[in-house]
Structure 1
C-alpha cells in the first residue's frame, strides 16, 4: 500500500479513468457517459473497492487541480478572436451575467431550505456555478467546506456539458451570444467545453461569462455574507 503513496499514483489512475471514459463516450455517444463523469466514477469506485486512503490519491490529484488555473486562462484565446462581438453585445452579456449570478445564489438557497439541507452544506453549494479557483475562495470566505464546493462545481460542470444543447433547444435559445452567456454563467468550464463544440462564438462568450460569473458571485457573496449567517 505504501508504494501507492506518491503523486504518480493519483495522476496515473486519473489519466486512465478519463481515457476509459472518453473511449466509452466516443463509442456510445450517449450524453450521460460524459468522460469526466465516467472517469470520476471509476476513480471513486477504485479507491473504495481497494480501500485506498484518499490522501494517497490527492498527492497526484491535487497536481491536476493546480493546472486548472492556467487551463482556465487559456479560454481567453477564443475570446480574443471575438473582441468585436464582445464590444457589440457587452450590455446584454453583463446583464445576463448579473441575472445569472443572482439566480444561481437565490435558487441554491431556496432549494436547500426546501430540502432541509444543513447550513454548512448550503453555503458550500453557493459557489457551485463558478470556476473552481474562485469557487474555493468564495467557499472559504463564507465558512463553507472547500471539498464539498469542489464536488458541487464539478457536478454542475458535468451537468452543463451533458444538458446544455438540450436545454437550449427546449427553451428555444438560438442566438449564439445568448447560448454562450447561459452556458458559461451556469456551468463554467465544464459547460464551456460543450459551448466550444457548438460554435466559436458560443465558446468565446461562454469563456467570458465564466469570468463575469466568478467576479459577480464573489461581489454578491460579500454583500450577503451577513445574511447567510442567519440561514
Structure 2
C-alpha cells in the first residue's frame, strides 16, 4: 500500500473516531442536562412559575440546592442541615423548617401532579461546593412542563444564601440514556481520543513520506 493510500486510510479512520467522540459528547450533554435548575428565593412567599424540560426519566427528584461559594459552610449548614465540626466534635444539624407547595402543569395548563414537601434526604456529591436536599419525587414522562412553586413558610435567613430549585437524580445510571452517556464519555476519554491522536500521527507521517519522501510501490 502506498503512502498516499495510508494517508487517506488513517485520516479517514481518525476522522470517523473523532465524529464518534463528538457524538458521545453531545449525547452526554443532552442526557445529563437537568430538566430544571433555576434560582429561587426561599425568604419570599409568592408563587413562581418555572419551565421544565424533561429529556429522560432519571431526573425526577425536586430538590433545593444551597450554594456554599459565598458563605462559610458552617453558616449554610445551619440552614440546610447536616454535619458540622463544632467544639471538636461532629454535630448533626437538622434542616431549617421549610415547606414547598408545588404544581406540575402541562404547557396548556393541565394539572399533572401537585403536593407539598419539606427538606429531606441529602443528595450532595462528595467534594461538591453545593448542598442538595430532596423535597419530593415527581415522576415525569419526557416533555415540556410548567412548575408552580410557593414557599409556605418563608424564612428571612434563607435570603443570605444563594439557593436554586432543580430536578436531580436520586442515583446514577437508572436509565439507559444515562448509562450510554456515562460509559460513552469514559470510552471516548480512555480509548477513542488516544486512537484519534494515533491515527492523526500516522496520517501525518504517511503524508510527509508521500509528499516529500521516497515513493513506495502499491
Q: The TM-score by the shorter chain falls in which range?
A: under 0.3
TM-score (norm 1): 0.19
Counting helix residues as a fraction of each chain, which structure ranks higher?
Answer: 1
Counting strand residues as a fraction of each chain, which structure ranks higher?
Answer: 2
TM-score (norm 2): 0.20
Whose relative contact order is higher, 1 or 2, with alpha carbons under 8 Å and at least 6 apart? 2
